[in-house]
Amino acid sequence: MALILGIESSCDETAAALVTSDRAVLAHRLAGQESAHRPFGGVVPEIAARAHVEALEPLIAAALAEAGVELGDVDAIAATAGPGLIGGVMVGLVTAKALALAADKPLIAVNHLEGHALSPRLADPGLEFPYLLLLVSGGHCQLLFVEGVGRYQRLATTIDDAAGEAFDKTAKLLGLGFPGGPEVERAAAKGDPRAVPLPRPLLGSAEPHFSFAGLKSAVLRARDADMYSAEDIAASFQQAVVDCLIDRTRRAIDRAPGATALVVAGGVAANAAIRAALEGLAAERALPFVAPPLWLCTDNAAMIGWAGAERFALGLTDQLDVAARPRWPLDPEAEKVRGAG
Ligand code: KG4
Ligand code: ZN
């Protein structure tokens, strides 16, 4: 059994966790920065990096104390090395390097996306490779065929905005506050998903790619039409996202023969309507459906510790000069598509 210290600092959550290779989360601590970024309606990189510097050390100390272990007891130190806001990533990675050097422990540089991608295996011991993963977060919207640790085939990505980005922008347009996803979900619960006609970009197209930019513009037009309540727009927007995600994922299932399960991960996977619709799709295709608990969907350090444990078991450790990476695709072979993704 290996004990891993996980560190996460790639966006606006500072987090530290202690996770074992037999799936025990001994401690997981998180310091959000919502109030620091709220006045700006989005994450400000420089504010985030400074907040990570202040929060990280006490957070690691608190996690070690909660788990009842000392740094000398851990087998390896795993930290997010990208992709993400580079200032924040560097804070976590440099801290991990210093701890690894001081305590003479191996360092594991974790791809944040791999943290999300493997998190369902922390939650569900029965989940075996390969599986089809819908990875939906603030920066990414991808369908991945997960063949093993470090082995990802990207079947689809977004040609413009990520799903979480669409939720965040919609929240901003509707004056619902920050962070947007949970606010839109709350407002949507009080609205009618059929009230506002909104587009379903790329619905039915042969490639399983995603697009959300047109949806965001349609939300803006609906708001300015002064005909609909914010709740009805939020509900209709959420339904359009659900319809797109389901159509695209259904298409990808056809391209992923041999997948043992349909799996969802990333912050947007915390959305109940999206989870329910994916569960229905999995049932339709007679696939098991796996979604991590909500706390494990949004950014956290337990998923980084777990990805570290998976890599450690395979002997995949890193040198102390490993670089922080603002961009770091899981599947470097994937064809380039227009826009981000
Ligand atoms: O994975 P995550 O915590 O951070 C990134 O790596 O991006 O994902 C954050 C994203 C944000 O865009 C946030 O608005 C969205 O996940 N999100 C949600 C919900 N909770 C978080 N989107 C829809 N419904 C939610 N309940
Ligand atoms: Zn994330």
pLDDT digits (tens, 9 = 90+) for 74-104: 999 999 999 999 999 999 999 999 999 999 9
Residue type for 103, please? A
Does the pLDDT of residue 63 top 60, yes or no?
yes
Which atom of ligand 1 lies nearest, measured to the CA of 163? 12
How do residues 193-249 score in pLDDT, each as one tens digit? 999 999 999 999 998 999 999 999 999 999 999 999 999 999 999 999 999 999 999
The pLDDT of residue 289: 98
Ligand 1 probe mutation, 12, 158, 268, 294, most atoms within 8 A of CB: 268
Confidence of residue 338 (pLDDT cuts 50, 70, 90): low
The Cα 314–Cα 2 span in angstroms is 12
Q: Which residues form the pocket of ligand 1, taking CB atoms under 6 Å from any ligand atom? A: 11, 137-139, 164, 167-168, 179-182, 185, 266-268, 270-271, 298-299
Looking at residue 47, what DSSP letter applies? H
DSSP three-state, residue 287? coil
How do residues 248-286 score in pLDDT, each as one tens digit? 999 999 999 999 999 999 999 999 999 999 999 999 999
Q: Measured in angstroms, how far is the CA atom of residue 29 from the centroid of ligand 1?
A: 18
Q: Measured in angstroms, how far is the CA atom of residue 72 from the centroid of ligand 1?
A: 34
Which atom of ligand 1 lies nearest, measured to the CA of 137? 8
Residue nearest to atom 18 of ligand 1 (CA): 181
Does the pLDDT of residue 23 top 70, yes or no?
yes
Confidence of residue 41 (pLDDT cuts 50, 70, 90): confident
- Give me the chain's average pLDDT, please: 96
Confidence of residue 114 (pLDDT cuts 50, 70, 90): very high
User: Of 257, 256, 248, whose CA–CA distance to 277 is shortest?
Assistant: 248
Which atom of ligand 1 lies nearest, measured to the CA of 112? 6
Q: Measured in angstroms, how far is the CA atom of residue 287 from the centroid of ligand 1?
A: 25
Q: Measured in angstroms, how far is the CA atom of residue 197 from the centroid of ligand 2?
A: 31
Q: Mean pLDDT, to the nearest integer, of 294-301? A: 97
The pLDDT of residue 335: 82
Q: Measured in angstroms, how far is the CA atom of residue 298 from the centroid of ligand 1?
A: 6
Which atom of ligand 1 lies nearest, measured to the CA of 162? 12
Whether 265 contacts 297, CB under 8 Å: yes
Residue nearest to atom 7 of ligand 1 (CA): 138
Which DSSP helix (H) or strand (E) runs through 34?
helix 34-37
Residue nearest to atom 14 of ligand 1 (CA): 181
The pLDDT of residue 8: 98
Confidence of residue 340 (pLDDT cuts 50, 70, 90): very low
The Cα 228–Cα 301 span in angstroms is 40
Confidence of residue 339 (pLDDT cuts 50, 70, 90): low
The Cα 9–Cα 112 span in angstroms is 10
Token output for 281 = 């799709």
The pLDDT of residue 38: 87
Does the pLDDT of residue 322 top 80, yes or no?
yes
Q: Please report, rounded to a whole number, the percentage of residues in the chain having pLDDT higher than 90.
A: 92
Q: Measured in angstroms, how far is the CA atom of residue 11 from the centroid of ligand 1?
A: 11
Does the pLDDT of residue 341 top 60, yes or no?
no
User: Of 112, 117, 137, whose CA–CA distance to 127 is shortest?
Assistant: 117
Residues near ligand 2 ion, CB 5 Å cutoff: 137, 299
Residue 58, preceding bond cis, omega within 30 degrees? no
Q: Measured in angstroms, how far is the CA atom of residue 10 from the centroid of ligand 2?
A: 8
pTM across the whole model: 0.96
